[in-house]
Structure formats: structure tokens, C-alpha cells
Amino acid sequence: MRFQKPYNVCVSDWLPMVMCNHDDDHTTFTGYQVELFRMLAQEVGWEEGDYVFSCIKYSEMMDDLKSPTGLCSLSAGGVEVSVENLASSLKFSWPTYKSGLRVMISAHLQSGSTWAFSEVFHWTVWLALGGTAVAVGFLVALIEWATPSRQGEVKKGWQAWSWYSLSRLVHVLSHVGDPSADASRILMLGYGFLVLVMVSMYTATSASRITAEKLVHPVHGKKDLVGRPVLTWSRYITALKDHHNIEATGHSWEGEADKDAMVADLRAGTYDALVLDAPVLEYTVGTNPDCDLFTVGEPFETFSLALAFPADFNDSTVFDFSASIVRLQTYQGALDMLENVYVKTGGTSKCFSSDGGGHGSGKMIQLYQVSGLWYILLIAIGLCFVLTLIHNARKDPASATRNILRHALAFIGIGDGAPPPPSGTGAAAGAGGHLPPPPMARRHWGSAGGGSAMSSMDGFEASTPGGPQEGAKTLKAFLGVSTFAYREEEEDESASHKKAKPPHSSFM
């Protein structure tokens, strides 16, 4: 009876290869392997009434095929062509599907990150851009100072030209002015072209980097499974341990309910990854309505699935089925077509459509994706305050300390932050009638803001007869730190005002 019509074709429920239920009509069974067998049966001359499908548990199906008194005529459920199955004298057709193991994780996607905008360029590129801006500023300053001065021309130092070149990177107006020497103008043209290309590259890449979605999970493939909690089918434990040093926990797999239980454990966080057959996991990911499951890495431990026959099944019929598989794939591409229908797409495109709310959905840029820009602004504000305090401390340390304390107390509600009136104001007004005018700063070597100077490189030579002090002032002006020289002169002038006596009534 085992090999008489209607043949009893046994299958086991495991999506997407076989979709069946023991209580349903066998004509409603479907899946990759079921639909392929229907095509093969027609190729070998079997009519629809010549066979029936029986949906049973996987272990029962395998035991029945190996038993001499079993009821299954053959299995169209996609049985693994393994050493163990061959040793049990099972016969196999030509492979119907090339399968393997794959890793599935439960995770979520994150679009960009706080510093995604800075990930457009490697850190070495950012460093090269900043270094180039400073170097160009130095070269322009050197060329400008080496070029003879025109009448009334004000020379600018390295500080000013470095600010000029850095501001060109971010399109900020520097108000420094353009170089006057032809050589430095050519240099700035080359630098400007470099900035133009880099800005264009940044603009073209930054949007995709910020909106690109990344998996937030520590497992990205098979190599990341070592030392982590992994769940798999009990039959795969030995192969994972011996071949890949992966300590996995085994679980029974008799049908779709067992697979659902494994996926539930994965979602609950009990395990970091689930390792099962590649087509099963690909279908599970594709049909997942929550879009929180992902296959990572490439298939490994590849093996073939095929039709399985008892040891005493007719060899010529096995050959006919094998020849039909080859013909269907060669002339019709049947295996590829079935894979695209049942495995690759997973029966839904929700998780991959631009309007379904899944992985491919268009998303607006959120604040957290660009919050790094505000962090940079806060750092700039902090530096602004620090430099202001340093400036005041250099000018009058005692007064700067008092100002800091006074404003700190005003911030917490003690006082109004206003400085106290000078103690000698009334006496000075009563004695002389007027306060002496404030000291006037003499900017011989350059302005405090722009680091400019009236001299060229000749200033170094001209300053030599005047002594080391004049040469130091010229060097400060070239470097753009003439602010210090200006402050020293201001302090000197202030001291001279204190020593000088006001003119008396000799002109009266």
C-alpha cells in the first residue's frame, strides 16, 4: 500500500517551504516545496488524484520515512541532504533548494546620530582642512609682508589672515579685506577652489548620512555570536559549537508554533540572536508587521534540500523526479520563480515601502540628529567667555576678579552688578574742577582687532637700530598678536599721564 496510488506525500509545516494544517483539506496546502512538487508531479505524468498530502510533525515524518513499515510514500517537505540521512539509506532527488543557516536579531533602526553631520569626512580630512586654513593664513601673511607697501597701506598679520582663511570654510564674513599682493591672490584662488569642492562634496553626502538608518544592536553577523546567548534548533547545536565556537541553546522545532515560540524569546531579550534556516528567517522578517526583526550577515553552513524517498522506493521514479527538477529550472527558471514568490518577498512589502511606515519610509530630520551643531555652538560660547575673562585679567587682574564676583552675586540675586563709584571723584572735582582725560592708545604697530601694521618685512630691519624692544613689537604685529603691544603701550601711556603734571597758569 505504501507505493500504490494515491501516493501519500508527507510534509511538515514550516513556512515558507510548507504551509499546511493537519485538519485542512490537502488541496489548500501551499509553499515553495508544495508548489514545486505539484509541477514535478505533472512533469512525471502523475494526475492530481494520484497523490495526496499529509501534514505531520517533522520528527514523525522522518521516522516514518526511515521505517520499513512507514506510511509515507515520499516527502516533499524539503528534507536536508545530510550525512545522517544518507546513512539511514534514504534516497534523495536532485536538490530543490540551496539553504543554509542565518542569523536573525530583534532590534530597531536609528536614523543618523548626534554627530552624523561630522561623519561625512574622516577625522583626518577635518584635521587637514583646519591645518590648511591656518597654513594658508600664514603664507598669505608672509607674502603680504614680503611685498613692498603702497602709500598708506595697512599690513595685516598672521592672526587676521588665518581668521580670513578659516572664515572662508564656513562662509562667514571676516571683514579683513582681500590680499593686495598678486602672489597671495593666486594662492587664495587655489585655496578657494579647494573649499568650493570640499563644500560641494559635504553638501552632497551629508543629507544621506544624516537620514541613513542604522541597526542599533551589538550583533551584525555570525562572528558576533561568540560568547552571547543564542537560540537555535536542537539539531544545529553541535555544528555551531564545533565549527564556529558558538554556544547555543537548543529548542524543539516540530512546526510553526515552535518557531513562533523561539521568535517570542528573541523579542523578549532572552537571547541576542536566533539561528535557523535562511529561507525561514527571510520569510519571517518579510512578514513581520512590527518591522523589528532583521537578518544579519550572510548564510553559512550551507546545505541542500530535496525530495526524500524510503530506501526501497523505485529508483527509476527518483531519477524521473530529478530530471524534471533540472528541466524545470533550465527551461522555465521554476525554482527561482518560486523563491521570489514565497521566500524573498515574504508575502508583504510593508517593511520595505516608502509609504508603508516601515524601514524605507521617508522621515523628517529630528533634532537629536543635528544636536551636535548646538553642542559646538555652546562650546564656542564658552570659549567666548573664557577669552573675554583672559582679556580683562591681562588688562587689570584685580578689577577683573572683582567684576566676576560682582556679576556672580548679581546672578544669584545679591546686588545689581553695577561697579561702585570711584572714591576720589568728589575730591578730584573739587580741587581741579575736571578729571584728567583717559590715556589715548597709540597703535604704532597694528590694530587690536585686525593685527595690522604700517610696516612691511622691512620693519624687521628698520627695527634693529631701535633695539630689541622695537623688533619684538614688529614680530608681534606680523604674527597678529599686536594686541599685546598695544596694551603695553596703553599701560605705559597711562603711567606717563599719572607722572605728568597739568599745565599751570603761565598762559593766563
Percent pLDDT > 90 in the chain is 41
Whether the predicted pLDDT of 322 surpasses 60: yes
Cell numbers placing 486: 598695544
What is the helix (H) or strand (E) element at residue 469, kind and residue range? helix 468-479
Computed over every residue of the chain, the mean pLDDT equals 78
Are residues 453 and 446 in contact, defined by beta-carbon separation less than 8 angstroms? Answer: yes
Give Cβ neighbours of residue 218 (< 8 Å, ≥ 6 apart): 224, 228, 272
Antiparallel, parallel or unpaired: β 91-92 and 273-277: unpaired
Rounded (10°) angle between helices 123-146 and 158-169: 140
Residues 117 and 373: beta-carbon distance below 8 Å: yes
pLDDT band with cut points at 50, 70 and 90 for residue 56? very high
Residue 127 corresponds to which amino acid?
A: L
Containing H/E element for 182? helix 182-211
Residue 242 has pLDDT above 60, yes or no: yes
Alpha carbon 81 to its chain centroid, in Å, reads 42
pLDDT at 444 over 50: no
Question: One-letter amino acid identity for 261?
Answer: A
**Residue 256 CB-half CA count within 13 A:** 15
230-252: average pLDDT: 95
Question: Look-up: residue for cell 587690536?
Answer: 448
Q: Measuring CA to CA, which residue among 91, 8, 97 is closest to residue 316?
A: 91
Cβ burial of 303 (10 Å; 0-12, 13-18, 19+) is middle
- Helices (H), ranges, 412-465: 425-432, 458-462
Interaxial angle between packed helices 468-479 and 482-499, expressed in degrees from 0 to 180 and rounded to the nearest 10: 130
Contact by Cβ (8 Å): 442, 489:
yes
Mean pLDDT of all residues in 67-80? 94
Q: How does DSSP assign 369-387, residue by residue?
A: HHHHHHHHHHHHHHHHHHH
Q: Check whether 84 has a pLDDT greater than 60.
A: yes
pLDDT for position 483 = 39
Q: Is the pLDDT confidence value at 401 over 50?
A: yes
**Cα 66 to Cα 88: distance, rounded to the nearest angstrom:** 7
Higher pLDDT, 300 or 392: 300
Q: Are 183 and 144 in contact (CB under 8 A)?
A: no
Smallest Cα–Cα separation from 293: which of 337, 260, 246, 319? Answer: 260
Closest CA to 8 of 79, 65, 68: 65
Is the pLDDT higher at 411 or at 85? 85
Most confident of 36-50, 96-110, 130-144, 368-382: 36-50
Report helix, strand or coil for 26.
Answer: helix
- CA 263 to mean position of chain CA atoms: 28
For strand 213-216 and strand 108-111, is the pairing parallel, antiparallel, or unpaired? Answer: antiparallel
CA 390/CA 60 separation, integer angstroms: 84
